[in-house]
Amino acid sequence: MTDTEAGPKLYTIPETADRLGYKTTAPVYRMIARGELPVVKIPAGSRIDAADLEKYIEKNKRVA
């Protein structure tokens, strides 16, 4: 089975925070509340689609 057949990769809120380099989940919850990061609601809790996280990262890249 390929990744496409298995469905999208979903991250938990703590996994998302870790991938973004945050020590807590609070910034991720704020991004969700502001509508900056879409959330997928499933019975086990909220998840972030890996594709949405990548889009967020690309959108917020800045050249120093």
* Cα 12 from Cα 45, distance rounded (Å): 8
Q: So what's the pLDDT on residue 35?
A: 95
Domain that holds residue 31: 7-59
- The predicted structure's pLDDT at residue 14: 97
* Residue 2 within a domain: no
Question: How far from 60 is each of 15, 26, 37, 51, 54, CA to CA, in Å?
Answer: 19, 18, 12, 14, 10
Give domain status of residue 1, yes or no.
Answer: no
At 1 the pLDDT is 43
Q: What is the pLDDT along the chain (64 residues), one digit of tens a residue?
A: 455 567 789 999 999 999 999 999 999 999 999 999 999 999 999 999 999 999 999 999 988 7
CATH number at residue 45: 1.10.1660
On whether residue 40 sits in a domain, the answer given is yes
- Whether 64 is covered by a domain: the verdict is no
Number of domains in the chain: 1
Examine residue 46 and state whether it is found in any structural domain, yes or no.
yes
